[in-house]
């Protein structure tokens, strides 16, 4: 299903229906969908997912009106479900959400919390049973448009939860009026040669509580422990064995570019194939967290 040459600086989503999903660096402003997460280190060559007829992908962008991220999220997710439900690929497996100023606003007015409210207003019962694996990252392009990229399939994936973490949809009221709607990961095509485990955005959270505030190295180590726990659950649920060494693509989003050297030192000693790790500048959905991971893993 996938052929990974790895991710780049800005991300250009070029969708060829039921054929490929490319995350590729480009300087051409008039091509594709660009995400303003600046390249810090790692591969510059494209990460290309060659999709069989069992999969399709959609890339949507919704303008915000007067910075109303809740309304934009409701509209883009309504559009997404309209396109997907009743199609030949009705199952949402993996979603990427990119928005500007993700942590702007206080309390329930924070833009990420408002995004969750808008998404929850649009999605249906099937979306939440269970929700797809997902990532939400803040980019540097400012307020203006919400970008959503979705991987869909003819068949459902195996949704994964991490035993070290509270399911996101069960977070207490402390984190907003609506709990985030995503699973921690998914196993695709478990019975076939193209099986993959897709890890959602993974951060330094145990239970529902952020850990190691102010320490990027320890936050990254905790995130890696969460990732390893997810890979173990993937094995339990699918019968396929996954390990950090089987990583085909890993993105490390750093809130502060100056943390790059520290992050690279932690990753270099983790057992991950370092040539497949891309470092990008991006904001994590919790303002006290400074690093988040997402990745793709082949069975061993």
Question: Tell me, what's the pLDDT at 294?
Answer: 97
Are the C-beta atoms of residues 31 and 47 closer than 8 Å to each other?
no
**Paired tokens of 32:** 């594709």
In tens, the pLDDT along 252-300 reads 999 999 999 999 999 999 999 999 999 999 999 999 999 999 999 999 9
| Whole-number Å distance between alpha carbons of 206 and 284 | 16
Angle CA(292)–CA(278)–CA(215) in degrees, nearest 5? 35
Structural domain includes residue 5? no
Q: Is residue 6 part of a domain?
A: no
Residue 176 lies in a domain: yes
The residue that leads in pLDDT, 254 or 31, is: 254
Determine the structural domain holding residue 221 and report its residue range.
11-297
- Position 173 pLDDT exceeds 90: yes
pLDDT at 232 over 60: yes
DSSP 143: S
For β-strands 34-35 and 247-254, DSSP reports them as unpaired
Task: Determine the pLDDT at residue 218.
Answer: 98
Is residue 77 within 8 A of residue 95, CB to CB? The reply is no
Q: How many helices (H) and strands (E) does the chain have?
A: 4, 17
Radius of gyration of the chain (CA): 17
CA distance 110 to 119: 14
Spatial separation of the C-alpha atoms in residues 68 and 71, rounded to whole Å: 6
Q: For residue range 53-106, what is the model confidence (pLDDT) as tens digits?
A: 899 988 899 999 999 999 999 999 999 999 999 999 999 999 999 999 999 999
Q: Which two tokens stand for residue 127?
A: 């979306």
Q: Which residues contact 100 (CB under 8 A, 6 or more apart)?
A: 36, 138, 139, 140, 141, 142, 143, 144, 145
Share of the chain above pLDDT 70, in %: 89
- Residue 255, both tokens: 């809130």
- Tell whether 45 is covered by a domain: yes
pLDDT above 90 as % of the chain:
79
The token pair at 2 is 């996938």
Q: Indicate the burial class of 272 (C-beta count within 10 angstroms; 0-12, 13-18, 19 or more).
A: buried
Q: Quote the pLDDT of residue 17.
A: 45
Number of CB atoms found within 10 A of residue 67's CB: 16
Mean pLDDT of the chain: 89
Residue 34 above 80 pLDDT?
A: no
What confidence tier does 51 reach under pLDDT thresholds 50, 70, 90?
confident
Residue bearing tokens 């949809």: 169
| Residue 110 designated active-site | no
Is residue 257 situated within a structural domain? yes
Quick check: 122 and 60 in contact, CB under 8 A? no
Q: How far apart are CA 211 and CA 71, in angstroms?
A: 32
Q: What is the mean pLDDT of residues 138-167?
A: 93
In a domain? residue 2: no
The contacts of residue 17 (CB under 8 Å, 6+ apart) are 56
Q: Which entry of 64, 74, 222, 292 is annotated as an active-site residue?
A: 292
Say if CB 138 and CB 99 are below 8 A apart: yes
The total number of structural domains in the chain stands at 1
Distance CA 292, CA 136 (A): 10
Domain presence at residue 205: yes
109-134 pLDDT tens trace: 999 999 999 999 999 999 999 999 99
Q: Is the pLDDT of residue 246 over 70?
A: yes
pLDDT grade, residue 193 (50/70/90)?
confident
Amino acid 59: pLDDT: 87
Dump pLDDT digits (tens) for 14-29: 444 446 776 653 444 3
Q: What is the CATH number of the domain that holds 212?
A: 3.30.1330.40
Q: What is the pLDDT of residue 45?
A: 75
In this predicted model, which residue has the larger pLDDT, 194 or 188?
188
CB 233 within 8 A of CB 161: yes
Mean pLDDT of 192-209: 95
Q: Flag whether pLDDT at 172 surpasses 60.
A: yes
Q: Is the pLDDT of residue 48 over 80?
A: no
Residues 6+ apart with CB under 8 A from 289: 203, 204, 205, 210, 213, 219, 255
Beta bridge partners of 91: 153
């Amino acid at each position: 299903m996938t052929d990974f040459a790895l991710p780049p600086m800005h991300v250009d989503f070029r969708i060829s229906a039921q054929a490929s999903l490319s995350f590729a660096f480009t300087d051409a402003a008039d091509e594709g969908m660009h995400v303003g997460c600046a390249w810090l280190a790692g591969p510059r060559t494209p990460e290309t997912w060659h999709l069989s007829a069992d999969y399709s992908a959609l890339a949507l962008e919704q303008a915000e009106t007067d910075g109303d991220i809740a309304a934009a999220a409701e509209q883009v997710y309504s559009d997404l479900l309209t396109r997907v439900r009743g199609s030949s690929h009705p199952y949402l497996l993996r979603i990427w959400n990119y928005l500007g100023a993700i942590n702007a606003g206080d309390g329930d007015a924070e833009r990420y919390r408002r995004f969750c409210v808008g998404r929850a207003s649009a999605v249906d019962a099937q979306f939440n049973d269970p929700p797809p694996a997902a990532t939400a990252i803040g980019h540097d392009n400012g307020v203006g448009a919400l970008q959503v990229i979705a991987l869909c399939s003819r068949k459902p994936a195996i949704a994964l939860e991490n035993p070290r973490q509270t399911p996101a949809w069960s977070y207490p009221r402390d984190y907003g009026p609506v709990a985030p709607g995503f699973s921690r990961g998914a196993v695709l095509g478990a019975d076939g040669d193209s099986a993959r485990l897709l890890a959602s955005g993974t951060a330094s959270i145990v239970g529902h509580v952020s850990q190691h505030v102010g320490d990027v190295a320890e936050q990254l180590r905790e995130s890696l422990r969460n990732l390893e726990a997810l890979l173990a659950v993937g094995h339990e649920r699918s019968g396929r064995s996954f390990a950090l060494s089987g990583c085909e693509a890993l993105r490390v989003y750093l809130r502060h570019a100056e943390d790059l050297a520290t992050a690279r030192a932690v990753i270099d000693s983790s057992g991950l194939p370092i040539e497949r790790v891309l470092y990008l500048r991006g904001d994590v959905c919790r303002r006290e967290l400074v690093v988040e991971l997402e990745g793709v893993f082949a069975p061993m």
